[in-house]
Structure 1
Amino acid sequence: MNPQLKKGLLDVCVLAQLQRSESTLYTILKRLLAQGAITVKKQIYHSHVRKYYRITAIGEDKITQFIADWDSVEAIVHFIQEGAVDDKS
């Protein structure tokens, strides 16, 4: 996949979440923290607290499972599309 397309996809995902609610990203981060999928490290920088998020093994497993599930979804869609093409012949 084109790297620019990947970057654009991530941007659109973030923008879509912000469109729903300005606090949606914080909700997602809180949920991932509660699940143990990410950790947070806080550091003070020029009297402001900065948060640095890092993925955990649980988060890596979530990605792996999502990709496996997505492959199944793609296979189903491909199967349906092939049937639709065959019906037109």
Structure 2
Amino acid sequence: MTDSIQVQLRKGALDLCVLAVLSRGENYGYEIANTLVTAVGMGEGTIYPLMRRMQNDGLVATRLVESSSGPPRKYYRLTPLGLTVFEAHRRDWRTFANSVEKLLGELE
């Protein structure tokens, strides 16, 4: 797989990945970024603009929590709309991935 295809696949799945992380519970920005860097190799710089967009779209809600070791942490959680969107995206992803797998299998 070429680098450009890898980048495009990551970009296309990033929203779904963030929603999946948050479907497991509330997380702060660094935790989300670290999880995505480890799991799918997404850069930390791409996460925060996405989180702002998701907040503006009503998919996530935030709260600030004071930290004894630095500045306050912003925690993100799915809203009811965010959960609905996540479930729809997950179904769409599975349908798409199954179709691609079927096609690849037919080509072997």
TM-score of the aligned structures, taking structure 1 as reference length: 0.63
Matches within 5 A, 1:8-87: 10=36, 11-13=38-40, 15-18=41-44, 23-46=45-68, 48-85=71-108
Shift of 1:33: 0.4
Out of 23-32 and 46-55, give the one that drifted further.
46-55
Of the two structures, which has the highest relative contact order with CA contacts closer than 8 Å and spacing of 6 or more? 2
Q: Which amino acid aligns with 2:91?
A: A
Q: Distance in 1 between matches of 2:75 and 2:92?
A: 29
Distance 1:82 1:48, change over 3 A: closer
RMSD: 2.2
Q: Distance in 2 between matches of 1:45 and 1:82?
A: 51
Shift of 1:82: 3.2
In the comparison of the two structures, how many residue pairs are matched? 72
Identity of aligned residues (%): 21
Q: Which amino acid aligns with 1:64?
A: E
Q: Describe the SS at the equivalent of 2:43.
A: helix
Shift of 1:41: 0.6
Q: Describe the SS at the equivalent of 2:42.
A: helix
Shift of 1:38: 0.7
Q: Which has the larger radius of gyration?
A: 1
Q: Which amino acid aligns with 1:12?
A: A
